[in-house]
Amino acid sequence: MFVARSIAADHRDLIHDVSFDFHGRRMATCSSDQSVKVWDKSENGDWHCTASWKTHSGSVWRVTWAHPEFGQVLASCSFDRTAAVWEEIVGESNDKLRGQSHWVKRTTLVDSRTSVTDVKFAPKHMGLMLATCSADGVVRIYEAPDVMNLSQWSLQHEISCKLSCSCISWNPSSSRAHSPMIAVGSDDNSPNILAKVQIYEYNENTRKYAKAEALMTVTDPVHDIAFAPNLGRSFHILAVATKDVRIFTLKPLRKELSSSGGLTKFEIHIVAQFDNHNSQVWRVSWNITGTVLASSGDDGCVRLWKANYMDNWKCTGILKGNGSPVNGGSQQGVFNASLGSANASLQNSLNGSSASRYFFPPLDSPRAGSRWSSHAQLLPPPPLIEHSCDADTANLQYPHPRRRCVSRPLNLLPENEGV
């Protein structure tokens, strides 16, 4: 892993969420400065802010993109107790010339009486639907029946979860065998042993969402939750960010029509649990194939987790943010976006050997002592073998692998990649 680009976000306050669009060509950021910014990737790979506007009258917690089948649509949620839907307007040649795009508010969803903590669009096969959850413990599901008219959203379902909600995740499976399903996490931190993850399933008969399961083993506050893309599996995979990272599988059991009114029951297993973040884990999210989970926690790191072909979950990469104090206005130390791993190698997934040995050759460098010495990984790909010092002879002469010249000092960052 390596930092390809670094961009000044230019928000006037803390950024709470970043979000890629479906194709990875646009991104959105939201902040306590009450605004959302949209960024577009140009042909040469640079990112430009093409819109920045005030969206709420409080901190904006989350921003998320609708599927491009529905156009260019964003949803945001805020401490101001609302969620909002935004649509980009194509037009005004003036804006285009200035490289700016124009976003208009299509609706404000005002049903919540407390801070709206999460907002997520439903999988596209369900149509244009949106779920929100709020600190008062209610999950709300809205639908825009006419995809060409985003100003009309109807509140379809209100699910009372009893506990303050912090996060929601739709099950992305589009299989007919799976009913629409949404998982809700709670960050309620009063001392109790209530399950902090609940799973609601849509019941075709009653046309309502009903609680299908609760993860009884998760009793600590939950900050984020994410279903993995399904890959055609019969079971579901759910990642939970609580005091550690947990990965559950939910295997649907045969529906018992008589007793549970058509609700699916699940056989739940925990397949992985990692406390490497030391304390609270705040975010979990899957890559597009659902094969790598990323988590972020109090230790200031993003960690990548991957199962090998024998279904063992191991850490395959670490992305570090530097928590060392920023002093004297020096910004270099702010973010040593350095990676524990340059390649998501089989290393850990295969043998779980020490996380420090990522490359060939072993980094015999000043690793000890400095917490932040791992920025070496920002260097060009780790030499399998050190290059020879006299590579510029006219003859085709390859340095011998075994022969090594002076190792480069590890903290020399190529300028274009330094952060």
Cα separation of 222 and 184, whole Å?
9
HSE (side-chain half, CA atoms, 13 Å) at 399: 16
Residues 326-365 that bind another protein (CB under 8 A): 331, 334-335, 337, 339, 342-347, 350-351, 353, 357-362
Residues 250-279 that bind another protein (CB under 8 A): none
Task: Identify the CA nearest to 252 among candidates 237, 231, 271.
Answer: 237
Nearer to another protein among residue 203 and residue 295 (C-beta): 295
For the bound state, the minimum distance from the C-beta of residue 203 to another protein, rounded and expressed in Å, comes to 25
Q: Contacts with another protein: how many residues (CB under 8 A)?
A: 128
3-class secondary structure, 317: strand
Q: Is the Cβ–Cβ distance between 315 and 274 less than 8 Å?
A: yes
* Strands lying side by side in the sheet with 60-65: 60-65, 73-78, 83-89, 102-109
Cα separation of 236 and 242, whole Å?
19
Supply 276's token pair. Answer: 């490497």
289 scored as a contact of another protein (CB under 8 A)? yes
Location of structure tokens 């993995």: 228
For the bound state, the minimum distance from the C-beta of residue 291 to another protein, rounded and expressed in Å, comes to 8
Nearer to another protein among residue 271 and residue 334 (C-beta): 334
Nearer to another protein among residue 260 and residue 279 (C-beta): 279
Q: Binder to another protein among 13, 92, 158, 256 (CB under 8 A)?
A: 13
Q: Is the Cβ–Cβ distance between 19 and 38 less than 8 Å?
A: no
The phi, psi pair for 355, rounded to 5°, reads: -70, -5
Location of structure tokens 């990692």: 274
Give the rounded distance of the alpha carbon of 128 from its chain centre: 21
For the bound state, the minimum distance from the C-beta of residue 219 to another protein, rounded and expressed in Å, comes to 18
Cα separation of 109 and 106, whole Å?
10
Cα separation of 284 and 374, whole Å?
23
124 scored as a contact of another protein (CB under 8 A)? yes
Q: Which amino acid is at 405?
A: C
Residues 31-90 that bind another protein (CB under 8 A): 32-34, 39, 47, 57-59, 61, 68-72, 78-81, 90
- Binding segment for another protein (CB under 8 A), chosen from 242-250, 268-276, 367-375, 382-390, is 382-390
315 scored as a contact of another protein (CB under 8 A)? no
Nearer to another protein among residue 165 and residue 268 (C-beta): 165
Nearer to another protein among residue 229 and residue 262 (C-beta): 229
Q: Binder to another protein among 151, 269, 391, 407 (CB under 8 A)?
A: 391
Cα separation of 301 and 296, whole Å?
6
Q: Binder to another protein among 4, 97, 177, 193 (CB under 8 A)?
A: 4
For the bound state, the minimum distance from the C-beta of residue 261 to another protein, rounded and expressed in Å, comes to 31
321 scored as a contact of another protein (CB under 8 A)? yes
Cα separation of 139 and 358, whole Å?
43
216 scored as a contact of another protein (CB under 8 A)? no
Nearer to another protein among residue 256 and residue 298 (C-beta): 298
For the bound state, the minimum distance from the C-beta of residue 345 to another protein, rounded and expressed in Å, comes to 5
Cα separation of 328 and 16, whole Å?
26
For the bound state, the minimum distance from the C-beta of residue 326 to another protein, rounded and expressed in Å, comes to 8
229 scored as a contact of another protein (CB under 8 A)? yes
Q: Binder to another protein among 176, 207, 254, 402 (CB under 8 A)?
A: 402
- Longest Cα–Cα distance of the chain, Å, equals 82
For the CA atoms of 47, 50, 53, 59, the dihedral, rounded to the nearest 10 degrees, stands at -20
298 scored as a contact of another protein (CB under 8 A)? yes
Q: If you ran DSSP here, which 8-state letter would residue 346 be given?
A: H
Q: Is the Cβ–Cβ distance between 59 and 16 less than 8 Å?
A: yes
For the bound state, the minimum distance from the C-beta of residue 371 to another protein, rounded and expressed in Å, comes to 11
- Binding segment for another protein (CB under 8 A), chosen from 3-11, 98-106, 200-208, 248-256, is 3-11
Residues 139-158 that bind another protein (CB under 8 A): 148
For the bound state, the minimum distance from the C-beta of residue 259 to another protein, rounded and expressed in Å, comes to 34
Q: Binder to another protein among 19, 171, 242, 374 (CB under 8 A)?
A: 19
3-class secondary structure, 384: coil
Location of structure tokens 């399903």: 181
Residues 179-198 that bind another protein (CB under 8 A): 187
For the bound state, the minimum distance from the C-beta of residue 333 to another protein, rounded and expressed in Å, comes to 11
